[in-house]
Structure 1
Amino acid sequence: MRARLSWVLWDVKDTLLKVRLSVGEQYCKEAERVGLSLNPLEVDAAFRHAYRNYSRRYPNYGISQGLDGQSWWMGVVRDTFFQCRVQDPALLNTMAYNLYHNFCNAENWEVFPDSKKALEGCCSLGLKLGVVSNFDSRLEEILRVCGLLSHFSFLITSEVAGVAKPSPVIFDQALQKCGVPAACVAHIGDHYVNDYLTSRSVGIHGLLLDRYGKHNLPDVPREHRISSLEELLPWLQQHMD
């Protein structure tokens, strides 16, 4: 007899919402406030380099190395601007601090048009919802200002969990909070490895959200892939019958 679904776990970034502007545009707006004129494309490239470097040297916000989300992100921002020839330490710290806190504002995020309806539909089916996200401690505030927080019974971020996807440990923590077997849980996310493969490795019903048709992968059956959250409720209803 097939287990009945009772929980749905969610990834957040690029699943329920996305950054409204490019990083280069966001960072250049902050630079303008302190009288600097920078090229968004150059800043974007510098950010990608700084982000990769920090991710390699200090994985998961450097939690195991004594850092936290804020110090990690401020380091990325300072390195980004330093590559763009901004060398004043006070200026670098000011912009890094401001950008870290500015990303909690709703105007910096765009909720996908199908997100709220999908969350409300899950709740109307009697399903409980949780978040499993590679994110820092700002996530709760971001979900709150975007009008999504009230749908969730719990949030697990990689900063708080001390471990990030694709480690299955973060999903094990989520299952403990759900208090039901993995077969009673689904997970929705846009990342093939972090969301789909890892959730399925612990027995969760992983679904891959492929909004832009970029995941043409032979090992992802069509019934495990949706192109929008509008397709989610029919899938869930099938697994609740």
Structure 2
Amino acid sequence: MRGPLRWVLWDVKDTLLKVRSSVGEQYCKEAERVGLRLDASEVDHAFRQVYQSYSHRHPNYGVSHGLSGQAWWTGVVRETLSQCRVQDPALLNTVANNLYRNFCNAENWEVFPDSVRTLEKCSCLGLKLGVVSNFDSRLEAILHSCGLLSHFSFLITSEEAGVAKPSPAIFNQALKKCGTTCDCVAHVGDHYVNDYLSPRSVGIHGFLLDRHNKHNQADIPLEHRLRSLDELPSRLQQHMD
């Protein structure tokens, strides 16, 4: 690293926290509340197809097509359940809107055991923290409900930014908020392209979290790989002087 490190930017989903149970299980649980009995594996399969289709037709929550994150997600839910033979429009709308609200709540998310202590250690080192996430506008409420929001000086979601990782533009927005040069900023996340290659393309230092040893790309030096977030503070400290 060339300059003294001052900021650490964070991915959120699958880096600091994860969905507590499968989409199919979550959707089935909510459907049961309105009297629908669905098969979780079938719902999971339908969701994967619908999510891929929506992401292709309306990327980044349909921002460029005039959609909101809520409209995008409730559309995904309705179409997923429709593929599972739920046809009543009122039921589809009820389940979709309830699920959208429910995913703001901490009970639907699991914070990784190493997240809080690593955020605290980074702050104790004098580093400022921000979020850059391909997420919708619910992210602030989710981080608040999970007890993580207070660690961050700012949040940038792809819905708010109007552009998503891996576009360098979202990281350029983050650099403006940091008010410093790229060599004083690092980014941490679990996605090889979005969280490692993309920030590095604008000069931000990338650290790739690889909890399950699934990344075998040859262009990632060992010092940029993390098996756990617990490894991060000592790596950062080496580059703060």
The two structures have a TM-score, normalised by structure 1, of 0.99
What's the counterpart of residue 171 of structure 1?
A: 171
Shift in Å, 1:219: 1.0
Partner of 1:186: 186
Partner of 1:198: 198
Deviation at 1:2, TM superposition (A): 3.1
Shift of residue 152, structure 1, vs aligned partner:
0.2
Q: Provide the identity percentage.
A: 76
**Separation in structure 2 between the aligned mates of residue 81 and residue 158 of structure 1, nearest angstrom:** 26
Aligned residue for 1:137? 137
Root-mean-square deviation (Å): 0.8
Instruction: Name stretches of at least 5 consecutive residues in structure 2 with no aligned partner.
Output: none
CA distance in 1, matches of 2:2, 2:61: 39
> Which amino acid is the alignment partner of residue 131 of structure 2?
V
Tell me, in whole angstroms, the C-alpha distance in 1 between the residues paired with 2:64 and 2:3: 37
In the alignment, the residues of structure 2 paired with residue 149 and residue 163 of structure 1 have an alpha-carbon distance, to the nearest angstrom, of 22
Deviation track 1:97-144 (CA, whole Å, cap 9, x = no partner) reads 000000001000000000000000010000000000000000000000
What are the residue-to-residue correspondences of 1:76-87 with 2, within 5 Å?
76-87=76-87
Question: Partners in 1 of 2:220 and 2:126 — Cα distance?
Answer: 28
By how many angstroms is 1:216 displaced? 1.2
Q: Could you say which residue in structure 2 is the equivalent of 1:16?
A: 16
Distance in structure 1 (CA, Å) of the matches to 2:231 and 2:61: 34
Secondary structure, counterpart of 1:147 in structure 2 = coil
What is residue 55 of structure 1 aligned with on the other side?
55
2:231 equivalent to 1:236: no
1:100: which partner in 2? 100
1:209 aligns to 2:173 (yes or no): no
Match of 1:27 in 2: 27
Unaligned stretches of 5+ residues in structure 1: none
How far 1:34 moved relative to its partner? 0.6
- Describe the superposition over 1:38-60 as per-residue Cα deviations: whole angstroms up to 9, x where unpaired: 10000000000110010000000
Equivalent in the alignment of 1:227: 227
Distance 2:223 2:139 in 1: 30
TM-score, scaled relative to structure 2? 0.99
Aligned residues: 241
Q: Distance in 2 between matches of 1:193 and 1:162?
A: 19
